[in-house]
């Protein structure tokens, strides 16, 4: 049996991609949303949850984003552990599913970033 304390190369690679997705979805979205609200006003925020959060104190906004990041880290850790426990015959397709999940997260993060930049620069959302 392999030492479970030493991550396999695919686990390290997936954590790197998960970190990039979380950076885009949490940090970049938070900062660009705050700047967009400063430029065009909160009434132009199309996400009602984010509009509500942006009208709250900063500690609430940051706390909710940190909680979301923590939840996603726990979710991804659980997925990585499930892959390790999956029989080798099914491990490949399961890993592809996780790659698709990470790809969707990255695409969503890039779109949110592009949308926020559009609001900042042009005053209009891409939606």
Q: Is residue 4 part of a domain?
A: no
In the numeric block, which tokens belong to residue 81? 């552990």
**Given this model, what pLDDT does residue 6 score?**
54
Does residue 111 form part of some domain? Answer: yes
When divided into structural domains, the chain yields a total of: 1
Task: Kindly provide the residue ranges of all beta strands, DSSP E only, lying in the chain, ordered along the sequence.
Answer: none
CB atoms closer than 10 angstroms to residue 65: 17
User: Does some domain include residue 74?
Assistant: yes
Q: Which domain holds residue 71?
A: 9-122
Give domain status of residue 36, yes or no: yes
The answer to whether position 29 is within a domain reads yes
Q: What is the pLDDT along the chain (127 residues), one digit of tens a residue?
A: 455 655 688 888 888 999 999 999 899 999 999 999 999 999 888 889 999 999 999 999 999 999 999 999 999 999 888 888 888 888 889 889 889 989 999 999 999 999 999 999 998 888 8
Q: With respect to residue 1, please indicate whether it lies within any of the assigned structural domains.
A: no
Q: Is there a domain that residue 127 lies in?
A: no
Distances (CA, A) of 5 to 36, 41, 43, 125: 43, 48, 49, 45
Residue 18 counted as domain residue: yes
Model's pTM, two decimal places? Answer: 0.80
């Amino acid at each position: 049996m392999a030492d479970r304390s030493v991550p396999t190369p695919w686990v390290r690679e997936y954590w790197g991609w998960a970190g990039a997705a979380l950076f885009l979805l949490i940090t970049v979205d938070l900062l660009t949303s705050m700047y967009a609200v400063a430029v065009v006003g909160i009434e132009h925020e199309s996400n009602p949850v984010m509009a509500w959060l942006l009208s709250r104190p900063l500690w609430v906004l940051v706390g909710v984003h940190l909680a979301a990041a923590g939840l996603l880290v726990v979710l991804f850790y659980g997925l990585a552990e499930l892959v390790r426990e999956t029989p080798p015959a099914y491990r490949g397709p399961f890993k592809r599913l996780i790659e698709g999940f990470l790809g969707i997260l990255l695409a969503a993060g890039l779109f949110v970033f592009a949308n926020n930049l559009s609001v900042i620069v042009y005053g209009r959302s891409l939606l």
